[in-house]
Amino acid sequence: MENGNKGIVSAESGGDIAKEDISRRQFLAMAAAAPLALTPLTESLVSAQTAGPGAKAGKIKLASKVVLLPFDYQGVRLGSSRWQKQYESARNFYVNVSDDDILHGFRRAAGLAAPGAPLGGWARRDSSVVFGQWLQAMARTSRANDDSEMRKKATKLVDEWAKTLGADGNPRMRHYPWEKLLGGLSDMHQYAGHGGTPALMEKIVNWGIANLDRTRTPAANKPWELHSGVPLEWYTLSENLYRAYQLTGNAKYKEFGDVWRYEAYWNKFSDTSVPTNAHGVHAYSHCNSFSGAAMAYLIDGEAKLLGMMKNFYDFLQNSQCYATGGYGPAERYVINDGALGESLAIRLDSFECPCCTWAAFKLAKYLMMFTGESRYGDWIEKLLYNGIGAALPIVENGKHFYYANYHLGAGMKIYSRSNYTCCSGTYFQNMAEYQNLIYFKDTSAALYVNLYLPSEVTWQSPVVSTAGPIKLTQQTDYPEAEIINFKLEMAKPTMFSLNLRVPGWSQGVSFKLNGSALDVTTKPGSWATINRQWQSGDQLEMRIRLRFRRAPIDRWHPNRVAIVRGPVVYAQQVVHKHMVSIPPDDEALNEWMVATDESTVFRYAGQEQSSQRDDFMPFYQFAEMQTYRMYFDPAMRNVLW
């Protein structure tokens, strides 16, 4: 989120201590003084079709068609991988944060006994900044993994927090945390079976209707302090209100959601994906606002909203995104005139990694659901490996990753100087989403594989009911290896369509079924469809060729490039020496990169032998404070030799 640091360099990007303190004080003053809060609840919209045991189905009729459905945090398990370990590490961190510490500020403000201590950082006064997001992630992970310890913790947090709520429903939060809180409570009802949350939702919404400031000044690139609107990020409120409406059928939520629609920005994308006046505004929250457009589209069926979402998506891909899938230097969108490439030379705060990944996951998921197109999954994949999946883990007392640094000369991963910022809320939400982004299904007899990640899914086709559930197990070392193995298990032979995302960047995808080559259409940017009578024990092998590619930052800087292999950005390990010259085309690049004994490490040809290595490896493998070079430009003067 925007940290409230107005008109000065962001605290996270190297501002001094005083600035950081100013930033935090401003944030806390804004976040914790008056009311607010809400998060995303996208899946509730399709819950009438997907609700499994323990999940609440939606209560309204949706105006728009949903083509693909996520598994809604059920039926998918992660197998062993780097990203499964990341999830486990996060789960173990959050489940062990003291309940009393989380509740301390809420209890103190309510005049109740407040054992424990403040969490600190942005949660110094109370945990408003993360509370709703944590509830949401806890509800989702508890369902996805049948994690009773997590569910019990989240239930206790809701019950104890409810005691601090004012008689008038005043949660003592302003817009941003109020919106997240509503999302968290909705999820506790939908995914964790908390029966008391609908009443709590109604209380805080009644209070919000009466008390939340409705100034709603749209964000603007000038003056600088207007980049996230007034009140702060007000334009993100509609999504969770619409989700609450979908979940409960209470029209009050829909009406209040309508209040926060953001036509002033959405309309910039009504006819074009290259608007001239969409830059300079806060990157995360503006991407997040399109989740509100998504829910509005789902509920009301306004086709123009889907068109705006698509245009906005293309705007990001074509003018804002780095090779990693990240976006938003200094947390802003840039003018589409080469500014993104120039930003590499002057910014360290390249990408607000956890928050911006979260908004991107949601936008891409909504678009996949509404259109059925696989291309949106390409962005999810990029951000899984190079965005949130390359982040440092949350540790100790809430130390966490905030900005990814793609600076042209060199960079390193460092922890945020403030603990428990917005990014410690979205970090957990991203982890909760891993299981939900791998597989999709439609309303007939088709299963979709979006991500190639060790996992298993249990799926029951709604139209092939006699066959019983089908289990698909995925084993792979992708994206470090080219082969992905799928194994199918089912009670009896079953006719259905298995669809596998063929990445837009791919060149050469092939299949073998039970050891024999299978003729499948594999057009990059589409689904490879295998429609047949499957049998238990069937083994499907998918091979995605992993070639190195040059990824120019923008068309104004065709030689300012990152090196990408498959979906993964590779970076140079040691930046002590001068900047190497990257070969001029992909063919030459693949000759230049030479494999080593380590599967993920490549050494460039002709490298001078020395005591210091400067090989390339995936960006996600770099540890804290390990220097790397991600972007290269031969035009940069060699100032040392």
In the complex, which residues of this chain contact Zn ion (CB under 5 A)? 355, 422-423
Min dist. Cβ of residue 403 to Zn ion (A): 9
Burial class of residue 380 in the structure, from the number of CB atoms within 10 Å of its CB (0-12 exposed, 13-18 middle, 19+ buried): buried
Cis peptide preceding 70, ω within 30 of 0: no
Q: What is the token pair recorded at 372?
A: 């059925």
Amino acid at 232: L
- 10: alpha, beta or left? (left if phi > 0; alpha if psi -120 to 50): beta
CB of 10 to Zn ion, least distance (A): 11
Nearer to Zn ion, 145 or 418 (CB): 418
Tokens read off for 154: 């989240």
Residue number of the CB atom closest to Zn ion: 355
In the chain, what are the helix, strand and coil shares in percent, each to the nearest 5?
40, 20, 40
Minimum distance, C-beta of residue 96 to Zn ion, in the bound complex (Å): 22
The residue (of 269 and 428) whose beta carbon lies closer to Zn ion is: 428
Number of separate helices (H) and strands (E) present in the chain: 18, 20
Q: Choose between 194 and 227: whose C-beta lies nearer to Zn ion.
A: 227
Residue with Cβ nearer Zn ion (38 or 422): 422
How near is the Cβ of 360 to Zn ion at its closest, in Å?
13
CB of 231 to Zn ion, least distance (A): 18
Closest C-alpha to 101, from 123, 82, 85: 123
Q: Which string of b and e fits 574-596 if b means at least 16 CB within 10 Å?
A: ebeeebbebbeeeeebeebbeee
Nearer to Zn ion, 421 or 436 (CB): 421
Q: Parallel, antiparallel, or unpaired for β 539-544 and 557-565?
A: unpaired
Q: Which of 283, 181, 275 is nearest to 228 (CA)?
A: 283
CA distance 432 to 355: 14
Q: Are 514 and 538 in contact (CB under 8 A)?
A: yes
Cβ 388 to Zn ion shortest distance, Å? 11
> Smaller CB distance to Zn ion: residue 122 or 628?
122
Least Å distance, CB 488 to Zn ion, is 40
Residue closer to Zn ion (CB basis): 237 or 355:
355
Neighbouring C-alpha atoms within 13 Å toward the C-beta of 368: 34
Pairing of strands 446-449, 470-476: unpaired
Cβ–Cβ < 8 Å for 131, 177: yes
CB of 30 to Zn ion, least distance (A): 15
Dist. CA 78–CA 85, nearest whole Å: 9
What letter represents residue 539's amino acid? Answer: Q
Q: Pick the closest to residue 378 from 366, 362, 364 (CA basis).
A: 364
Shortest distance, CB of residue 300 to Zn ion, whole angstroms?
A: 30
Please report how close the Cβ of residue 355 comes to Zn ion at its closest, in angstroms.
3
Shortest approach of Zn ion to residue 94 CB, angstroms? 16
- Choice between 316 and 544, CB closer to Zn ion: 316
In whole angstroms, the minimum distance from the beta carbon of 353 to Zn ion comes to 8
Integer Cα distance of 589 and 278 in angstroms: 36
Residue closer to Zn ion (CB basis): 422 or 528: 422
Minimum Å distance from CB 274 to Zn ion?
27
Nearest CA among 445, 426, 449 for reference residue 437: 449
* Cα–Cα distance for residue pair 568/602, rounded to 1 Å: 13
CB-nearer residue toward Zn ion: 316 or 422: 422
Rounded distance between C-alpha atoms, residue 83 and residue 606, angstroms:
34
Distance between CA atoms of residues 529 and 538, nearest Å = 16
Residues 613 and 604 sit within 8 Å (Cβ to Cβ): no
Closest CB to Zn ion among 134 and 486? 134
Give the span between the Cα atoms of 289 and 19, in whole angstroms: 28
Q: How far is the CB of 284 from Zn ion (least distance, A)?
A: 6
Measured between alpha carbons, how far is residue 336 from residues 23, 226, 264, 349 in Å?
29, 20, 20, 19
Asked if 484 contacts 511 with a C-beta cutoff of 8 angstroms, the reply is no
Residue type, 606: G
**Identity of the residue, 355 or 472, whose beta carbon is nearer to Zn ion in the bound complex:** 355
Beta bridge partners of 571: 617
Is the CB of 90 or the CB of 564 nearer to Zn ion?
A: 90
Q: Which is nearer to Zn ion, 326 or 341 (CB)?
A: 326
